[in-house]
Amino acid sequence: MRDTTIARSYAEALYDLGEQHGQQAEFETAAGELYALLRAEPRIRTFMDVPSIQLQEKERVLRRALDGRVPPLFMNFVLVVVRNGRQRLLPDILREYHTLLDERLGRLHVQVTLAQEPDERLEEEITADLSRLLGRNAIPHVRVDPAILGGIIVRYGDRVLDGSLRRRVAALRRNLLMAGIPPSR
């Protein structure tokens, strides 16, 4: 079985566990915190992956690090992952869990490029407009690129909606060149 398939299976089990016990929001927070911790501290991942370290020691360290920070059911899930020898897949499991959660809750992460930093009102308008346009709860991740001059570029999945002023000017220039208008003297 491929690692992504295994990670997806564990993520589905985590999702089902959270849903059955009405703790989806708590699990989402805990998964985000653990994922951030594993990314920020490579020593923890190394510690977890070393086969010569006893399972009991790994469990003890995990309990100490996560106790009170994550729900007990979530903690039990993490311990089962470690007991099954899949601890190196924890980041992949957590990433798959968030992807699954987004799918099931109808959320869509969207990359938005603007020419300048938006204010709060504009961000809210973009979120509302994209959610309506895409038929899902859009979660924009805004990036500023002055080179687009104005307008907006939206990327989600493998689609790009380019409403930038740079593209419009380039299209206008192309049309004028193709029209064969002689230069003025």
**Residues 83-92 as b or e (16 or more Cβ within 10 Å = b):** eeebbebbeb
Q: Tell me the CA distances in angstroms from 136 to 103, 127, 149, one per residue in order.
A: 10, 10, 28
**20 and 91 share one domain:** yes
pLDDT(162) > 60:
yes
Q: Percentage of residues in the chain with pLDDT exceeding 90?
A: 70
Range of the domain at 13: 3-103
pLDDT at residue 89 greater than cutoff 90: yes
- Looking at the fold, whether 62 and 139 belong to one and the same domain comes out as no
pLDDT confidence of residue 10: 96
Same domain, 18 and 80: yes
Beta-carbon contacts of residue 162 (< 8 Å; ≥ 6 apart): 153
Structural domain includes residue 8: yes
Among the three residues 103, 124, 153, which one is the final residue of a domain in this structure? 103
pTM for the predicted model, two decimal places: 0.73
149 with 82, same domain?
A: no
Identify whether residues 12 and 99 lie together within a single domain: yes
Residues 153-180: what's their mean pLDDT?
89
pLDDT digits over 23-49, tens only? 999 999 999 999 998 888 888 888 888
Residue 30, SS3 per DSSP: helix
Q: Which amino acid is at 64?
A: R
pLDDT computed for residue 185 by the predictor: 63
User: Residue 185: inside a domain, yes or no?
Assistant: no
* 143 and 87 within one domain: no
Asked whether residue 121 falls in the same domain as residue 96, the answer is no
- DSSP conformational letter for 163: E
Structure confidence at residue 37 (pLDDT): 87
pLDDT of amino acid 183: 65
pLDDT per position as a tens digit, 125-150? 999 999 999 999 999 999 999 999 99
152 and 118 both lie in a single domain: yes
Total structural domains within the chain: 2
